[in-house]
Structure 1
Amino acid sequence: MGRTETLKSRLDAKGAKWMTWRDREVVADFGDPAREYEAVRGGGLGLVDRSGRDTLVLAGEDAVSWLQGLVTSDLRELVREGSGQLTSAVNLVGRLIAEARVLHMPEMLVLDLEPGVLADGFLSHLKRHLITEDVQILDRSAQTSRLGIFGERAAAFLQKHCTLAHPMGSRAMFEGTWGSLGDHDIVVQRVPTTGGPGYEIACATEEVADIWDLLMATAELTPVGFETLETLRIEAGIPRFGVELTEERIPLEANLDHAISFTKGCYLGQEIIARLDTRGTPARLLRTLVFEGGAAPEVGAEVEVEGAKNAVGEVVSSVWSPRLNTSIALAYIKRKYNEIGDEVRVETRKAIVQPLGYPLDSTRDSV
């Protein structure tokens, strides 16, 4: 894990309350989740410790062509240094092994993954498929720390306080750049985590506490914890590996079409993905469920429909949505029952099926 004791003391000084997620220690909140939420959605800026994430570096003459055969996206689109994309890796039957943000850096590809993905099998999966290719696979998780900045003014903030190779406002989703903050080298990548402007700063682990201090010294940022970030993410309908994205899921079910190329040619699991795409709608889809008040449903709760003998879906994440002032959930729901506007029941309560990101899209003009 790329978090130092010095950074941990900085977080503690801000009132950090700790929890464990995927065997990593994360800050649950800083004592006032409502304030943290407002910092991101209300025109301010939130600063999040993201140091638990995995970082993988691929270098060598064959790195791109080799990885091209193991992921669903088309890496040939990453022509320019600073270009980036979302990708996924699947097994022979099309089930997810990993999801990663890829960034083309000078002479290397950098993959940013959820905590523990490398140790849980993705690193060994990659190494099994390396034969004679000129590829160096480097797990840099312990040497890399990450901090996230989220909010409407995030790009302007970074442009003001950092020296960067590319203007932040010109970066498309998953694109990045590199430069410095003070005397510290940084890499910045645009990410969709909250459904609004967001960027993650990667730096050397031993420098992260100093970078935290420099960022907080601007007096423009509010520390934000894991639980608020999850609320923001679920409102935005951004699936997360280890939560909505698991080894039993197929990327198409989770609306990861933007992480799949249907024209790139062969890759591991491609035949199953192509067959599902040709057939049309997958057997189930990830949807947002909107309830009429009440507490958020339990993860694992069954989604039911009147007249159906068995459950037609399952809740995989849920929160109270400040944006809608009601509880919402993300759920996988079977075909025939997942049309937008359909009525379902969870824990005896009515819910309406909506697209991913509905809490933001339905209120964007009124906020």
Structure 2
Amino acid sequence: MMQDLREIQVAAGASIVDGIVVSFGNELDALVAAREGVALCDRSHWGRILVSDDDRLRFLHNQSTNDFQSLKPGTGCDTVFVSSTARTIDLVTAYILEDAVLLLVSPNRREYLLQWLDKYIFFADKVKLKDITNDTATFSLIGPESEQIVKKLGAEEIINQAYGNHQLFKLEDIEFRVAVGSGLAIPGYTLIVAVEYAANLWKKLVELGAVPLGEQGWEQLRITQGRPIPDQELTDDYNPLEAGLWQTISFSKGCYIGQETIARLNTYKGVKQQLWGIRLAAPVEVGSVISLEDEKVGKITSFTETENGYFGLGYVRTKAGGEGLKVRVGEVEGEVVEVPFLTRDSSQ
């Protein structure tokens, strides 16, 4: 089933490595489309976990940072799964269905989260987990013209709804779910479809004018937008407040794994480092030290080269300063800048 989609993509110039569409050979055009038109990114290698049965909302409410008990079918949210000491495991998007919750998780956290969630299901809990990654595909429409394509799909009802809201639609024989949000801080939509219809839906989206975008382009957008990912910005070294994920946290919902630590950090202004964008004068290595007047104040966690220069993400000690701070990254000059995906307090 997925092979049909891959054949269409390869015919369009895609290079595919380990099941991931790395590039269509059109990065510049696709990135322009993401900013000014609409780009189409295949995110099918991301994990999709279905959480079902009667206790599903209570269970997820107790396992992550957002308030699941207040959510109704057709809504969604971003949430962070954290350890008992509030260290980040993954940033996840959750879609509330009529009889289940669909979790869209980072590719390298799919198996880990399945095992981690299963560990917290106790005998009396009515919770079931199912990995539906191989049965489904996920595409993101990215860019200000995304809603024009959504309209042409017959899914205009979803336009102007809140982030995370989603609905099922049908076009010809293709049934697909459309959710508000591109996965970045760029307007767009995320589409989830059964794998047997993935090739036809992809073909339709391209025919309607979406420009295919590979993983290389997504990674550049991710870094310049500031979306943190596991093993780089989301690790045992950082908590969700430091990672700029305040928008995913409910400070009023009560107890959950890691809640005490997060509440204490918020109450006592204990965020000692923060994730920022770093505009750079030259290339740097991930892991490079960020310095201010010969004092180490942080380190680089991601790096990319763009058509406008070099850019990284990195954690900077809060006391050192923030936006506008001039720093050195190794021997390279840099400037700390804001990135649109991140938030820095509970009011955002």
Whether TM exceeds 0.5 here: the answer is yes
Counterpart of 1:130 in structure 2 is: 121
SS in 1 for 2:312: strand
Q: Of residues 288, 291, 299 in structure 2, which corresponds to 1:314?
A: 299
Q: Of residues 57, 63, 76 in structure 1, which corresponds to 2:50?
A: 57
Number of aligned residue pairs: give it: 340
The answer on whether the counterparts of 2:264 and 2:270 sit within 8 Å (CA) in structure 1 is: no
Counterpart of 2:322 in structure 1 is: 339
CA distance in 2 between counterparts of 1:138 and 1:152 reads 34
Counterpart of 1:364 in structure 2 is: none
Q: Return the offset for 1:103.
A: 0.8
CA distance in 2 between counterparts of 1:199 and 1:182 reads 20
Q: Of residues 204, 229, 236 in structure 2, which corresponds to 1:214?
A: 204
CA distance in 2 between counterparts of 1:93 and 1:13 reads 48
CA distance in 1 between counterparts of 2:186 and 2:214 reads 17
Matches within 5 A, 1:11-22: 11-19=9-17
CA distance in 2 between counterparts of 1:303 and 1:343 reads 10
Q: Return the offset for 1:285.
A: 0.5
Matches within 5 A, 1:266-277: 266-277=255-266
Counterpart of 2:346 in structure 1 is: none
The answer on whether the counterparts of 2:66 and 2:78 sit within 8 Å (CA) in structure 1 is: yes
Q: Of residues 228, 247, 251 in structure 2, which corresponds to 1:262?
A: 251
CA distance in 1 between counterparts of 2:91 and 2:106 reads 8
CA distance in 1 between counterparts of 2:294 and 2:31 reads 40
Q: Return the offset for 1:26.
A: 1.4
CA distance in 2 between counterparts of 1:248 and 1:181 reads 46
CA distance in 2 between counterparts of 1:250 and 1:326 reads 29
After TM superposition, the runs of 4+ consecutive aligned structure 1 residues lying more than 4 A away are none
Q: Of residues 98, 105, 122 in structure 2, which corresponds to 1:113?
A: 105
SS in 1 for 2:217: helix
SS in 1 for 2:107: coil
Letter in 1 for 2:202: W
The answer on whether the counterparts of 1:288 and 1:357 sit within 8 Å (CA) in structure 2 is: no
Counterpart of 1:300 in structure 2 is: 287
1:100-126 CA-to-partner distances (Å, cap 9, x unmatched) read 10111111111111113121x211111
Counterpart of 1:149 in structure 2 is: 141
Q: Would the alpha carbon gap of residues 215 and 340 (structure 1) be closer, same or farther in structure 2, given more than 3 Å must change?
A: closer
CA distance in 2 between counterparts of 1:277 and 1:339 reads 18
CA distance in 2 between counterparts of 1:243 and 1:266 reads 28
Q: Return the offset for 1:192.
A: 4.5
Letter in 2 for 1:57: L
5+ residue gaps, structure 1: 359-367
CA distance in 2 between counterparts of 1:277 and 1:35 reads 42
Letter in 2 for 1:30: F
CA distance in 2 between counterparts of 1:48 and 1:280 reads 38
Q: Return the offset for 1:32.
A: 2.2
Letter in 2 for 1:202: I
CA distance in 1 between counterparts of 2:184 and 2:330 reads 28
Q: Of residues 6, 9, 12 in structure 1, which corresponds to 2:7?
A: 9
Q: Of residues 236, 249, 252 in structure 1, which corresponds to 2:238?
A: 249
Whether 1:190 aligns to 2:180 is yes
Q: Of residues 21, 30, 37 in structure 1, which corresponds to 2:31?
A: 37
Counterpart of 1:361 in structure 2 is: none
Q: Return the offset for 1:184.
A: 1.2
The answer on whether the counterparts of 1:156 and 1:169 sit within 8 Å (CA) in structure 2 is: no
Counterpart of 1:351 in structure 2 is: 334
Counterpart of 2:77 in structure 1 is: 85
CA distance in 2 between counterparts of 1:347 and 1:17 reads 33
Letter in 1 for 2:78: L
SS in 2 for 1:304: strand
CA distance in 2 between counterparts of 1:353 and 1:303 reads 10
Q: Would the alpha carbon gap of residues 197 and 63 (structure 1) be closer, same or farther in structure 2, given more than 3 Å must change?
A: same
Q: Would the alpha carbon gap of residues 174 and 241 (structure 1) be closer, same or farther in structure 2, given more than 3 Å must change?
A: farther
Letter in 1 for 2:48: T
The answer on whether the counterparts of 1:290 and 1:327 sit within 8 Å (CA) in structure 2 is: yes
The answer on whether the counterparts of 1:192 and 1:238 sit within 8 Å (CA) in structure 2 is: no
Letter in 1 for 2:117: L
Query: Pairwise CA RMSD of aligned residues?
Result: 1.8
